[in-house]
Structure 1
Amino acid sequence: MSPKQPKFIWQQPSWRRFAVQADSVAADLARAHKSHGVVEGQAAAIGVTLDGEVAVHVLSAEVIATAAIEGQHYSAAAVRSSVLRRLGLPHTGGTDRHVDGLVEVINDATDNFAVPLDADRLCRWQSALFPGGTSGIQRIAVGRFRDHAEPMQIVSGQADRETVHYEAPPSRSVPAEMDHFLEWFNATDPTKPAAPGAAMDGFTRAAIAHLWFELIHPFEDGNGRVGRAVMDMAIAQHQGKPLRLYSVSQQLMSHRAEYYEALNQAARGTGDVTEWVRWFARQVTSACEASSSIIDQAIQKRRFWERHGSEAVNPRQRKVLQRLLDDGDGGFAGGLNAEKYMKMTGASKPTATRDLAAMVAAGQLWTSGAGKAVRYYVAMPGWTHGVEARNHEPPSAP
């Protein structure tokens, strides 16, 4: 009788010796590095800072996406409020301990990228994700590696017809497996040039770090979010600075099925992770391209305020204009009208009418429709808001 063939990568003799075919990944990595360079150049040109609008947007997107991948859906307003609070910026809204915990984890991973990664830090990250020690209503092991005897499996389907996509190494071997992983991660840290292996390509290293962590699956829950924080830390180390310029998790969320399939294929492989690295590099490229568009919008917003900053804009008008700019071309559903302006600012109808008319006269807004159907749109060059006909004259009373 022939011996049973290894089903998962950690059962292979080559386990932990990940191989990458340099020639096969070169083109994808080159595109990723080029896109990364474009984003860095844009950021430098407009002076993107750790507490600037682009950084707030990217961190918020990262938090929302990395949670959504695991089926956790956080309010965009709650996330933005938590991010602003964490950065010491003015904010509104209440607090959500789960959101705050994830924001803290991602911040620690990127802000403190030069601090070596160890088991205690990872356990504190996982603990921050589960205030109260529960996942939903189920009590789980929090702040420590899993220690249950039953297999750690990723499954789908009904209870009587489950499909096992992956089974991680048994709990008893997790501490030793994590020792191997952490030794490799710290030995390949590009911020420590003297470290053996520090010359590894940055995106290849981030891809392997995320994959390796997920293959071990060291926690009872939260492995995906912690694993993507490890990925973020690796990318921050590659950048050599904590500035968040793009969200890989947002890209992974937009291709969630592909993401899981790519992980699944690597988990059942022999240790050659070339295809996983290629796929990951392509996601980095797409994430950079998306961020480049966001930075372009930031440049547009800056130019808008440069054009209109000298105008007499009262706090109510500034608040609404900033909201319209943040929502982007066509992002403010249905356009702005007097009633929405009143709700957003607390202004009376006569005040709203005067404010809106003044912004149209100053060229900050343009209108479509007439009478009760009039709608206002921010006057950003190139933005159509999906409206074909445009009026350029200030409307009569809304």
Structure 2
Amino acid sequence: MTPDSTPHSPSRPRYLWQQPDWPALVVDGAVLAPALESARVEQGRLLGLLDAIGLVPAQEVARDLWAQEALATAQIEGQRFELQAVRSSVARRLGLDDAAASAPDRSVEGLVDVMQDAVAQCAAPLDADRLWRWQSALFPGGTSGIQRIAVGRWRDHADPMQIVSGPLGREVVHYEAPPSRQVAAEMGRFLAWFEATRPAAPGAPSGSGAGVNGLVRAALAHLWFETVHPFEDGNGRLGRALADMALAQDLAHRQAAPQPFSAPIFGVALRMLVNRGAYYDALNAAQRGTTDVTAWVLWFVQTFVQGCIASQAVVRQVVDKAAFRVRMVQAGVNPRQVKVLERLLAAGSVELGGGFLGGLTADKYTRLASTSKPTATRDLADLVAKGLLWVSGQGKATRYGIAVPGWTQPAVE
């Protein structure tokens, strides 16, 4: 047993759940006020953009944002999915055509199912059975890797539930969750709080949840769930799904009309992945601190702000794509050119994590369009002349990029 795993006296609590006033989490509203105001401004801008572009483009945005979130929440846990498998899974749920649809992947389907249920069914009660079904969906074979794990129930092993890093024999214990024997009671308190603080539906009488800011509630829900760590595996993905559920409930409470789509749109998981070190540090500090969790909530709200800003850029990229397609039609491009231009549009812009690897070359055009080198050269020159592609370099260093204002493509492999 490592020094960190030794039981501690209640008079000297090491972890949040050992504090005498746990789970009465508190925050300093004055400290949070500027960040919460900024968050509402950026959230409003995102929702305004989505409302302005119409339902069909908004669904395309929803697909892109949802796919990004699914990839990110899995990657935080070291799980990597194929982008096309995730996009296809999301597209099916949104009722969108997917020309490049791939065969369903059970692990991808399970994660996307959880995310959909959390957001689209955010009005449904959250209870233990629902969480058990979520966790089962993440592990369709009942294993994590090749190890069998407890699926569809709270963890029940006698060993400490620890967050550990480092090589075997020199592990560092970052956090130890409550013993398994306490999980049922801990989760009973969490679920009661989550339901009691649920925002009232538009037009309904205000309930006890009316006094809890929706963004603060999402941050508290994620921290509380991660602190209990109720499952043998899958806690991180489920904790982020719970945050999405709380954000969806908050959005439904604030909007007079239902959402035009049911998908995670605020990009929180992606920002957590991008700032993974800071995410772990903030969570670990909160789990080793007192029940005043202002610092954690502030970090979460600031991450929400960053996510909204990044999501706004995704919306603008969809608008850019639509405008470019109009230019394509007006320019009279041939089917080969359409195929390649659509591949470039699908790759997106470097600023949003996309871009066509190494830029477009004549050789790549030849392969993508299934045509000859001379035809590829003529097609590319024609697209440059029509203002649909830009060109840089000479000879073998010649690269082409899609001419969407503000977009860039990588210039080298």
Asked whether the two chains share a fold, i.e. TM above 0.5, the reply is: yes
How far apart in 2 are the matches of 1:176 and 1:7?
Answer: 20
Asked if residue 27 in structure 1 is aligned to residue 30 in structure 2, the reply is no
Contact 1:149 1:170 in 2 (8 A): yes
Contact 2:161 2:178 in 1 (8 A): yes
Equivalent in the alignment of 1:5: 12
How far apart in 1 are the matches of 2:131 and 2:291?
Answer: 25
Which of 174, 179, 196 is residue 170 of structure 1 equivalent to?
Answer: 179
Asked if residue 360 in structure 1 is aligned to residue 380 in structure 2, the reply is no
Asked if residue 44 in structure 1 is aligned to residue 64 in structure 2, the reply is no
Contact 2:359 2:400 in 1 (8 A): yes
Deviations 1:194-235 (A, max 9, x none): 432233111100000000111111100000001100011111
Contact 1:49 1:55 in 2 (8 A): no
Equivalent in the alignment of 1:112: 121
Q: Secondary structure at the match of 2:157?
A: coil
Q: After alignment, is 224-233 or 65-74 more displaced?
A: 65-74
Residue type of the alignment partner of 2:36: L
How far apart in 1 are the matches of 2:273 and 2:408?
Answer: 28
Q: CA deviation at 1:372?
A: 5.2
How far apart in 1 are the matches of 2:81 and 2:359?
Answer: 25
Equivalent in the alignment of 1:246: 266
Written as runs of structure 1 = structure 2, the 5 A alignment for 1:177-188 is 177-188=186-197
Which of 220, 225, 247 is residue 232 of structure 2 equivalent to?
Answer: 220
How far apart in 2 are the matches of 1:50 and 1:128?
Answer: 30
Contact 1:50 1:244 in 2 (8 A): no
Q: Secondary structure at the match of 2:209?
A: coil
Deviations 1:278-311 (A, max 9, x none): 1111101111111122222222222222333334
Equivalent in the alignment of 1:309: 329
Equivalent in the alignment of 1:86: 93
Q: CA deviation at 1:9?
A: 1.4
Contact 1:40 1:245 in 2 (8 A): no
Residue type of the alignment partner of 1:55: A
How far apart in 2 are the matches of 1:302 and 1:181?
Answer: 45
How far apart in 2 are the matches of 1:164 and 1:239?
Answer: 37
Equivalent in the alignment of 1:264: 284
Q: CA deviation at 1:4?
A: 4.1
Paired-residue identity, %: 54
Q: CA deviation at 1:357?
A: 4.0
Q: Report the number of matched residues.
A: 386
Q: CA deviation at 1:142?
A: 0.8
Q: 1:198 to 1:377 in 2, by over 3 A?
A: same
Q: 1:343 to 1:191 in 2, by over 3 A?
A: farther
Residue segments in structure 2 that go unaligned for 5+ positions in a row:
1-8, 253-258
Alignment RMSD, CA only? 2.2
Which of 374, 379, 384 is residue 403 of structure 2 equivalent to?
Answer: 379
Residue type of the alignment partner of 2:267: S
How far apart in 2 are the matches of 1:120 and 1:291?
Answer: 32
Which of 249, 265, 285 is residue 237 of structure 1 equivalent to?
Answer: 249
Q: 1:132 to 1:254 in 2, by over 3 A?
A: same
Contact 1:145 1:175 in 2 (8 A): yes
Deviations 1:227-253 (A, max 9, x none): 100011111111113343321000001
Q: After alignment, is 89-98 or 177-186 more displaced?
A: 89-98
Written as runs of structure 1 = structure 2, the 5 A alignment for 1:338-353 is 338-349=362-373, 351-353=375-377
Contact 1:114 1:191 in 2 (8 A): no
Q: 1:23 to 1:49 in 2, by over 3 A?
A: farther
Q: 1:310 to 1:244 in 2, by over 3 A?
A: farther
How far apart in 2 are the matches of 1:122 and 1:208?
Answer: 17
Which of 64, 73, 78 is residue 71 of structure 1 equivalent to?
Answer: 78
Contact 1:106 1:229 in 2 (8 A): yes
